[in-house]
């Protein structure tokens, strides 16, 4: 039987696989939170210590480039929106699907 912790690691890895197509180098990898010498530490998967949790490590977007802030400041052009729409259509048209996915 797979533990909840093992499932979180698996789904962190899956999140990276799925989202790398749209986010490039933004996803840095899966990290683990470990108990080490009576303290909690974050490290890569090979760091020593008992895994307490797994997480996705990502590059932070500078706040001035967040889309919601850019839209509020009227700094997003129609050309940019059209480009994002084309990328989204291309991604979704080539995405894996199944009857189970279709039901959602």
User: Does residue 16 register a pLDDT over 90?
Assistant: yes
Mean pLDDT over the full length of the chain: 90
| Euclidean distance between CA atoms 45 and 30, whole angstroms | 7
9 CB neighbour count, 10 Å cutoff? 19
Question: Confidence class of residue 102 from pLDDT cuts 50, 70 and 90?
Answer: confident
Model confidence pLDDT, tens digit, residues 26-70: 999 999 999 877 788 888 888 888 889 999 999 998 988 999 999
Both tokens assigned to 48:
């020593």
pTM beyond cutoff 0.85: no
């Amino acid at each position: 039987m797979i533990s909840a912790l093992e499932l979180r690691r698996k789904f962190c890895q899956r999140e990276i696989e799925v989202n790398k197509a749209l986010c490039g180098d933004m996803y840095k990898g899966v990290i683990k939170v470990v108990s080490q010498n009576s303290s909690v530490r974050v490290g890569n998967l090979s760091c020593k210590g008992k895994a307490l949790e797994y997480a996705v490590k990502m590059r932070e977007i500078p706040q001035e480039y967040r889309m919601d802030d850019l839209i509020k400041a009227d700094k997003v052009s129609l050309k940019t929106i059209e480009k994002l729409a084309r990328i989204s259509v291309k991604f979704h048209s080539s995405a894996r699907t199944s009857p189970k996915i279709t039901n959602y």
